[in-house]
Amino acid sequence: MLRYGLLDNDYKPGSNQQPGRQSIHVVQKSRSQTFTLLHSTLSLNPQLPQFLQPRNCPINVYFIIDTSESVALQTVPIQSLVDQIKRFIPVFIDKLENELYQNQVYITWQFGGLHYSDVVEIYSPLTSSKDIYLPRLNAINYLGRGTFTDCAISNMTEQIQTQMASGVNFAVVITDGHVTGSPCGGMKVQAEKARDMGIKLFAVAPSENVYEQGLREIANLPHELYRNNYAITKKDTLEIDVNTIDRIIQAMV
């Protein structure tokens, strides 16, 4: 998770304070007064010292969608559960708004994705444009056949590396946790490799019929943060689980 304090580095030239240490002088004011002062100062003087400039924080979210038979055949018609996933993700990315956080950190978002069965299809590279991303998401259909989640995670990691995505990287893996094979070394191994590259993985269930241990092998620790019974729909309904989306985004920022 990203957590930002009031001022991480508000060194004052000419003072006895060492650079990189927190100053008690600015925070004598109330928070609202401090933020107002910073906002006014930043607006009037773009040539401020670097320690007063807002820090850029790009956040990349990569969606991995299981469209294999183990997911698609859970419902009739076959495509309907995949369509539910395609409804879930637009609601998710609609909540990803660029913002200046407390006048200190400028958060920007990119999103990309792939879907998979025993093959992997990349439907969108990382982009900040919903106009580019959403039509590509809506064009996917279920693939059927087997479930090679390890290869999907491996491809996601490669995509993020290839695109040299700076900032903080997350993957949202939507799967039931079942696999039919592990030709890419195993789901747990590939999840660990992604984590070694600094990618944090959330596991989200597409339905109530899941293999929980598989989902926990995917998700980062603690599972209370990265698994936590996340699902695309509310229990026993077809309504999108907005609470899942809100909790995941809260964990990201």
Query: For the domain that residue 107 is a member of, what is the CATH number?
Result: 3.40.50.410
Helix axes 187-196, 149-162, angle to 10 degrees: 20
Residues 99 and 180 in one domain: yes
Q: Please tell me the pTM assigned to this model.
A: 0.79
Residues 204 and 104 in one domain: yes
pLDDT for the residue numbered 7 = 37
Taking 70 as the pLDDT cut, the residues of the chain under it are 1-52
* Strand (E) or helix (H) holding 41: helix 31-44
**Distance separating alpha carbons of residues 139 and 196, to the nearest angstrom:** 32
pLDDT for the residue numbered 50 = 62
CB contact at 8 A, 146 and 97:
no
Domain count across the chain: 2
CA 239 to chain centre: 22
Residues 210 and 237 in one domain: yes
Cβ contacts of 223 within 8 Å, gap of 6 or more: 216
Residue-number span of the structural domain to which 3 is assigned: 1-53
In order of 17, 18, 118, the CA distances from 200 in angstroms are 36, 34, 23
CB contact at 8 A, 68 and 179:
no
The structure tokens 């479930």 sit at 147
**pLDDT tens digits, residue range 94-143?**
999 999 988 888 999 999 999 999 999 999 999 999 999 999 999 999 99
**Distance separating alpha carbons of residues 84 and 89, to the nearest angstrom:** 9
Tokens representing residue 137 in the block: 């998401």
pLDDT for the residue numbered 247 = 98
Residues 133 and 167 in one domain: yes
How long a stretch of residues is the chain?
253
pLDDT for the residue numbered 52 = 66
HSE on the CB side for 247, CA within 13 Å?
Answer: 17
pLDDT for the residue numbered 9 = 42
pLDDT for the residue numbered 68 = 96
pLDDT for the residue numbered 11 = 41
